[in-house]
Structure 1
């Protein structure tokens, strides 16, 4: 499974995002090269309007359940409405470095 393609095509098809950024952050963790296990997804969609954060995350997790049952170990979700995205200055906080494995 090409995880990035799966995430992008699934979210594009179901949530019609205004902005979608899918980043493989596996290289930042103690995993084999090419693991495709750690992902950061920033998605801006009108479909999140009126939904609490937990509802947004559940919606995305449900859509991506196939990948979550397989190669994806960690999924960092940043879910916004277009208005929220504008107020944030169209940016998210950088991911922290891995604290696990033998990288300590």
Structure 2
């Protein structure tokens, strides 16, 4: 599946930061079209506001779930402060992914 510009940036940043064994990013924005929240609409026209991420990297060895999510959020701070409204994260080590 091809990514839009935001998805492409997310994948590039995560690949550089974590050298993943595998990575998958799904634009899930269409499921949120028309949903409202306090600041306005959840999903923007054209998508790329809600994503599901699955990433497998040995960089996560020895880290708990929260530490992994914080590391990913730190790498994507700019995107999470702007165009990305929601990011669901599944971060695993290679051993966890194969087990």
Query: So what's the TM-score if we normalise by structure 2?
Result: 0.83
Q: Report the aligned-residue RMSD.
A: 1.3
Q: Which runs of 4+ in 1 moved over 4 A?
A: none
Please state how far the C-alpha of 1:3 moved relative to its aligned partner.
1.1
Map Cα deviations across residues 11-58 of structure 1 (whole Å, 9 max, x no partner).
110100000001100011123431311000100000000001000000
Match of 2:21 among 18, 23, 28: 18
Judge conservation of contact 1:17–1:43 (CA < 8 Å) in 2. yes
1:80 is aligned to 92
- The count of residues paired between Structure 1 and Structure 2 equals 87
* 1:2 counterpart = 2:5: yes
Judge conservation of contact 1:35–1:71 (CA < 8 Å) in 2. no
- Higher strand proportion (structure 1 or 2): 2
Please state how far the C-alpha of 1:2 moved relative to its aligned partner.
1.6
Cα distance in 1 for partners of 2:98, 2:51 equals: 23
